[in-house]
Amino acid sequence: MSAGTVRRGPILLALIVVMVAAIVFDDRGNAPATRGAGVGNVAAGPALAASDALTSSWFCAEGTSTPDGRADETVVIASVADTRIDATVTVMLGGLTPMVSRTVHVAPRREARVHLADLVVAAEPAVVVEVVGGQAAVVHEVAANGDIATEPCARGASTDWYFAAGTTLKGAQQYIVLFDPFGDDAIVDLTFLTDDGVQEPDALQAVVVPRRSRVSIPVADSLPRQRDVAVHVHARSGRVVADRTQLFDGTASDGEVARKGIALSLGAEAPAHEWNLAYGTTTSGEAGVVGVANFGPASTVVDVNVVLDGDQTIAAESVAVPARSVRMVDVAGRVPADSRYAVQVIARDVEGNAPPVVAEALDWRPMTATSPAVATAVGSSQPARRWVVALVSKDDEGVVTVLNPGTRRLTVTLHMLRASGGSRRSRPRRVDSGHVTTFDLARVGAQSDGVLVVVSDHPSTVGITLTGPGGAAVASAVPDFSYGVR
């Protein structure tokens, strides 16, 4: 090629154009791009698996299956699937003891109950329920001292669990039950917020939870005679599921409240700024407090709102909760007799960045009642549009409480699922923001082996209160966070 044919100008111009274009488009391309995998971790708290989930596992820590056990356990599997599902109930006994399994076929839209004592006799049975084939909720029911308690099982393990409303006063036994369902051991530290401040008993540090087994820790042995006991379970290695059982034998020290029954709580995974406790009644003279535990290093103030069924309102009570302490707030005392109510606990300050807390309800029927009972439940911090209620006992009367924690009015409907398909629906109810409505299960025609689904057009919080001659229990319903999402 001759020298004259190659011109410098166009070359420089072309390169400049390319560079400028690259710079311009590179700027435009600097918009954040989604890179990498978004992995959907399963929360440890109870929640229905997504409808396309292959399997869902539920972990029920507390419960016994010996004649003299402290909490006779029954596992309830409530299917909301349209086809038959298989649920494998595996009891992990720890050590070299082989696991015991039974596969239960659950009819569409029905419940199946497995009384653990029928499966295996064990003092420390840790239960895993693996559901294959569709959506189902798993709860477990324990019975002792003429009382019952119920709570959804956990969907996963966590490194941290929190409980707020406990006591080790005379007449009360408290057990923290730690369950490690995985293949390697967990090492756990327990911290207590008590009347005497923060306590970390040496015996309850570095507690080894062997793989595929559970450990029950009698708190009163290390922390006797504490009126208020909030617990933080932290796994320094591995992950665990933590339940707490409180057994009341009807005795009490002078000046203290005497209670009888059993209460069961699944811990909260983390403190939060807002808790909704959609259960509470004074229809049989029940009393109730809400324990608010501040596990953080700074003091906080929480508003405790008691919301009555209907149009009645009660002024919110502000409670100061110092750092690393727990406060019991009487809520039933502020409620008129024969009322149903829900409680909202909101931690906030002027800046809106108050330390989060944990709130847990502790209700009881007085010893003077026909059938004394005790119940506890940690609040719910995340509303959902669909909730599943597993009906635990045919003899109990149940009340479903729907709380609207949002800012918009919602419409809620109860669906009593039919085995043959479809459901019997209640009349829709509107619930204003910050208000609550309740449904009597007897009135909506709930059957003992049926499954109740609560659906609202905006997120709500649903709880159930069971009362009856066999005892009383309060529990959160099982949310379906995937409803309306997928």
Partner 1 sequence: MTWADGPDASTTELAAEAEAEPVDGLAAYPPVVAVVVTRNPGPWFEDTLAGLAAQDYPDLTVLVVDGGSTDDPTARIAAQLPGAFVRLLGEDAGFAAAANEALRTVEGATFLLLCHDDVVPEPPAVRILVEEAYRSNAGIVGPKLVSADDPGILLEVGRAIDRFGVAYTGIEPGEFDQEQHDGVRDVFYVTTASMLVRADLLAELGGFDEATGPGSEDLDLCWRARLAGARVLVAPDARVTHRETADARHRADRSDEPALAQRRVRVLLTSYSLVTLLWLAPVGVVVACVEAVGDLVTGRPRRARAAISGWFSNLLHLRSLRASRRRAQRLRRVSDGDLRELQIGTTTRLGDFLAHHLHTDDRLRQIGDRSRSALGSVSDRMRGPAAVVFLGFVALVLIGSRDFITGRVPGIGTLVPWVSGGDLLDAFGSAWRSTGLGSPAAAPPLLALTGLFGSGLLGAVGLARTLVVVGAIPLGAVGAYRFARPLVGLRGPALVAGVIYGVNPVARNAIASGRFGPLVLFAVFPFVLGRVVRLAGLDADRGASDPAPAVKSRGGLLRLAVLVAVAAACYPVAPAIFVVAAGSFVLAAPLARGWAGSWRALGIAVVAALAAAVLLFPWPLAYATSHLDGASLGFAFRPDLGLVELLRFQSGPSGASWVMWGLLVGASVPLFLAVGARLAWATRGWVLAVVGWAMVWVPEQAAPHRFALAPEAGLTLAAFGLSIALGVGASVFVDGIHRFRFGWRQPAAIIGGVALALPMLGFVADSIDGRWHAPSAGWVDTLSFTNTLAAKGQFRILWIGRAEVLPLDPVVLPDGTGYTLTRNGSGAASELLRAPQGDADHVVDRAIELARDGLTDRLGRLLAPMGVRWVALPSTQGPGGGGSLPLRGWHGVLDGQLDLARLRSAPGLVLYENLAWIPLHSVAGGREAALVPIGARDPIRAALGVDLSTAVPVVGDTASPPGIVLSGEAYDSEWDAIDGSGRQLGHVQAFGWENGYRLSRKSSVSFEFGAQWQRWAFLGVSLVIWLFVGWRWRRTRIRLPESARSGARAMRERRARRDPLWDAADDDAYWWERV
Task: Give the binding site for partner 1 (CB under 8 A).
Answer: 1-8, 10-12, 14-15, 18, 22-23, 25-26, 29-30, 33-42, 49-50, 52-55, 57, 86, 128, 130, 132, 156-157, 181-184, 211, 238-239
> Is 219 strand, coil or helix?
helix
CB of 219 to partner 1, least distance (A): 27
Torsion angles phi and psi, residue 63, rounded to 5: 130, 150
At 117, list the tokens.
Answer: 């004592």
Torsion angles phi and psi, residue 2, rounded to 5: -80, 155
CA angle 66, 147, 332 (to 5 degrees): 145
Rounded Cα gap, residues 204 and 112, in angstroms: 37
CA atoms within 13 A on the CB side of 42: 17
CB of 185 to partner 1, least distance (A): 10
Report the residue number, 12 or 337, with the smaller CB distance to partner 1. 12
Q: Confirm if 480 and 386 have CB atoms less than 8 A apart.
A: yes
Report the residue number, 2 or 370, with the smaller CB distance to partner 1. 2
CA atoms within 13 A on the CB side of 439: 28
CB of 103 to partner 1, least distance (A): 9
Torsion angles phi and psi, residue 480, rounded to 5: -120, 90
* Amino acid found at 262: I
Report the residue number, 19 or 320, with the smaller CB distance to partner 1. 19
Rounded Cα gap, residues 206 and 219, in angstroms: 15
Report the residue number, 26 or 254, with the smaller CB distance to partner 1. 26
Rounded Cα gap, residues 414 and 387, in angstroms: 10
CA atoms within 13 A on the CB side of 103: 7
CB of 396 to partner 1, least distance (A): 32
Report the residue number, 53 or 257, with the smaller CB distance to partner 1. 53
CB of 382 to partner 1, least distance (A): 16
At 416, list the tokens.
Answer: 């009593």
CB of 2 to partner 1, least distance (A): 5
CB of 128 to partner 1, least distance (A): 7
Report the residue number, 8 or 427, with the smaller CB distance to partner 1. 8
CB of 350 to partner 1, least distance (A): 35
Report the residue number, 10 or 67, with the smaller CB distance to partner 1. 10
Report the residue number, 19 or 442, with the smaller CB distance to partner 1. 19
Report the residue number, 57 or 460, with the smaller CB distance to partner 1. 57
Report the residue number, 220 or 268, with the smaller CB distance to partner 1. 268
Q: Confirm if 372 and 364 have CB atoms less than 8 A apart.
A: yes
Alpha helices in 141-297 (DSSP H): 219-222
**Where in 316-409 does DSSP place strands (E)?**
317-321, 325-330, 341-347, 358-365, 373-378, 384-390, 397-403
CB of 154 to partner 1, least distance (A): 11
DSSP 8-state symbol, 48: P
Alpha carbon 192 to its chain centroid, in Å, reads 20
CB of 240 to partner 1, least distance (A): 12
Report the residue number, 29 or 421, with the smaller CB distance to partner 1. 29
Other C-beta atoms closer than 10 Å to the C-beta of 29 total 9
CB of 268 to partner 1, least distance (A): 18
Rounded Cα gap, residues 105 and 88, in angstroms: 9
Rounded Cα gap, residues 21 and 472, in angstroms: 72
At 281, list the tokens.
Answer: 């009644």
